[in-house]
Structure 1
């Protein structure tokens, strides 16, 4: 198993390769594509922030931000594959008291449900798996529940933080794949799989298989 320092080093290399995808830009300027593309950028930012927090020993905050990272890639995928035209229009309106209400529905779980038979099956599987295994604990951290109290009070096992970083890298991989799809370039989509193979030791098992 990689040490945390080595994992963080390798994770930066993974991030560097995936970040280059965003240099290509989206395939077109449609509101649906742009909305999903922007949300991919949000997910990328969360990934970078999580590793910086972990590097500085701010583990509670790092875990909290992983839920935001998960929600960003979920919404990016949902916006492209499943959101209604009305929802896209509301999402892309100039921010106002009225348009901010566009975020209230659907819930994260509803978005995943709506993506079934629309988004790639593997993407839905990974989002479902992540939510089933991580959501309850992440909510506890975000809402200052017992997980945050106990872990912050008694210390974080290194293996837990290693697993968190790998999970975040998995979400980063999903974000990169979504961004690659949005470029419309099949070669970039294939490159994502190659990058995953090169960095499989810093990815969760579901992605590195």
Structure 2
């Protein structure tokens, strides 16, 4: 586990540099997607830190938030209507109790079909199909959290969670690279993935 976390930090270090370039322009669509990519990046850091300190239940909960942030980032760029983009900025400026997008991540994934890269949409669908119910159980204090927190976490489960988080991190890096407008950076993401394939899920390799 320690070796996996160490290798994951190296992966994160390479991907984090993409954010030093900044977005290609200051349009609301690009900026909103960029901000959500940054949120997803922060969540990936939190997952690893929580695992490092043995806070596995919380790490799994944050993994769901990481997925949701990345899903929204991708949807905002590829599939959200101009009206949705405008509403996002208008509501964000108010920060009231009602200022929240009502689209679920399932709706966002459906809306991305035919607009976002096909491989990305497939990975979103796969992640949601395989992990969503269990992640919800942890977030809402369901049977998964009760059983695992009480009986202990198998090491393989935590390895899978860290790798899943790294997979989401890789997708976040690709989305951020696209938002920079620099095609060379997007190519670099694939090279980074190949260099760190040991800490990524097989779906991305």
User: Fold conserved (TM > 0.5)?
Assistant: yes
Give the unaligned 5+ runs of structure 2: none
For 1:181 and 1:171, the matched residues in 2 are separated by 15
Is 1:33 matched up with 2:30? Answer: yes
Q: Counterpart in 2 of 1:161?
A: 158
The Cα of 1:193 is off from its aligned counterpart by 0.2
Q: Counterpart in 2 of 1:121?
A: 118
For the residue of structure 2 that corresponds to 1:166, the secondary structure is helix
The Cα of 1:106 is off from its aligned counterpart by 1.1
For 2:124 and 2:72, the matched residues in 1 are separated by 11
- Deviation sequence 1:29-84 (CA, Å, 0-9, x none): 00000000000000000000010000000000000000000000000000000001
Q: Counterpart in 2 of 1:48?
A: 45
Question: Post-superposition, which runs of at least 4 consecutive aligned residues in structure 1 deviate over 6 A?
Answer: none
Given that residues 90 and 99 in structure 1 are in contact (C-alpha distance below 8 angstroms), is that contact kept between their aligned partners in structure 2?
no
Q: Counterpart in 1 of 2:18?
A: 21
Give 1:179-190 correspondences, 5 Å limit: 179-190=176-187
For the residue of structure 2 that corresponds to 1:28, the secondary structure is coil
For 1:96 and 1:124, the matched residues in 2 are separated by 30
Q: Counterpart in 2 of 1:87?
A: 84
- Deviation sequence 1:131-172 (CA, Å, 0-9, x none): 000000000000000000000000000000000000000000
**RMSD (CA atoms):** 0.9
For 1:99 and 1:118, the matched residues in 2 are separated by 29
Q: Counterpart in 2 of 1:96?
A: 95
For 1:77 and 1:52, the matched residues in 2 are separated by 25
Given that residues 91 and 99 in structure 1 are in contact (C-alpha distance below 8 angstroms), is that contact kept between their aligned partners in structure 2?
no
Superposition TM-score, scaled by structure 1 size: 0.96
User: What is the number of equivalent residue pairs in this alignment?
Assistant: 203
Give the unaligned 5+ runs of structure 1: none
For 2:49 and 2:38, the matched residues in 1 are separated by 17
